[in-house]
Amino acid sequence: MTTFVLVTGAWHGSWCWKRVREALRGAGHAVFTPTFTGIGERSHLLSKDVDLETHIADVMNLIRWEELTDVVLVGHSYGGLVVRSVADRMGERIAALVYLDAFVPENGESLHDRLPPEQREMQVDAAGEVGGWRVPPIPAAVFNVNGTDRAWVDAQCTMQPIACFRQKLRLERDGAPAGPIHYIYASGWEGTPFTQFYDMAKARGWSTREIACGHDIMLDEPEALTAALLEIAAGRSSGQAGG
């Protein structure tokens, strides 16, 4: 049995993992899908004080109090910053680290530092229309979410504090876990800012693969993603580690 911790991207809650979570549990594995403070079913905790470090603490505390070890840690999109920090601080508990169409900033960089300027300014402008400290969800169509799920995703996503995107990543070591690192790239949507991280992953010798779908891979291609995660879990004792 493998223990998976699946970490969402911005604006999403644990709901987005339903299909993959059920498939992995059906295969006999333990699966945790934490929702960040202030998002989804925890949106009643939304405040301007919530930032990247808050969300890092959400995942670290889950791992600590559930006494999890030998974890396959998966971070989608914005969640890449969170899992990079968790792996940096709790690397001995992480058997494999998976970036799922995710940001992988370096120490001292924020998400906004690695976002194309026009996309960053769109977020800042959108936040300015609702008080300046929170960012409304980006429509699912922008991420090329499949047509069947778009209205549902738009209804489920909630506001995200802009501090999460502006706070600098603080690595205490090199951001690497004890086990291998993988990058899964969604190649089926336009305007993706993640090609830079996919290319970096290949240059660093990480295990890489592509899935031809929109950004929300767990919704567009849950079977393919589940198969990829099971393959990673089966081979988690070998592979390329590194920051």
Q: What is the pLDDT of residues 21-55, one digit of tens each?
A: 999 999 999 999 999 999 999 999 999 999 999 99
- Is 240 inside any structural domain? no
Location of structure tokens 């089926």? 188
- Is 241 inside any structural domain? no
Of 34-38, 64-68, 239-243, the one with minimum mean pLDDT is 239-243
- Is 45 inside any structural domain? yes
- Grade residue 89 by pLDDT with cuts at 50, 70 and 90: very high
- Is 217 inside any structural domain? yes
- Is 242 inside any structural domain? no
- Is 30 inside any structural domain? yes
- Grade residue 236 by pLDDT with cuts at 50, 70 and 90: low
The whole-number pLDDT of residue 240 equals 43
The whole-number pLDDT of residue 125 equals 97
77 carries an active-site annotation: yes
- Is 239 inside any structural domain? no
Residue 13 vs residues 30, 69, 93, 103, 214: alpha-carbon distances, Å: 18, 23, 24, 18, 18
Q: Which tokens hold the place of 181?
A: 């690192």
- Three-state secondary structure call for residue 181: strand
Domain count along the chain: 1
- Grade residue 176 by pLDDT with cuts at 50, 70 and 90: confident
In whole angstroms, give the CA distance from residue 3 to residue 29: 6
Identify whether the C-beta of residue 170 lies closer than 8 Å to the C-beta of residue 85.
yes
- Grade residue 239 by pLDDT with cuts at 50, 70 and 90: very low
In whole angstroms, give the CA distance from residue 66 to residue 64: 6
Q: Which residues contact 155 (CB under 8 A, 6 or more apart)?
A: none
Entry pTM: 0.95
Q: Which tokens hold the place of 118?
A: 């026009």
In whole angstroms, give the CA distance from residue 111 to residue 27: 34
Q: What percent of the chain has pLDDT over 90?
A: 93
- Is 81 inside any structural domain? yes
| Mean pLDDT score of the chain | 95
Domain extent at residue 139? 3-234
**What CATH code is carried by the domain that includes residue 67?**
3.40.50.1820
- Sign (positive/negative) of CA torsion 52, 180, 228, 116? positive
Active-site residue, from 14, 47, 77, 237: 77
Identify whether the C-beta of residue 12 lies closer than 8 Å to the C-beta of residue 33.
no
In whole angstroms, give the CA distance from residue 108 to residue 114: 11
In whole angstroms, give the CA distance from residue 17 to residue 218: 6
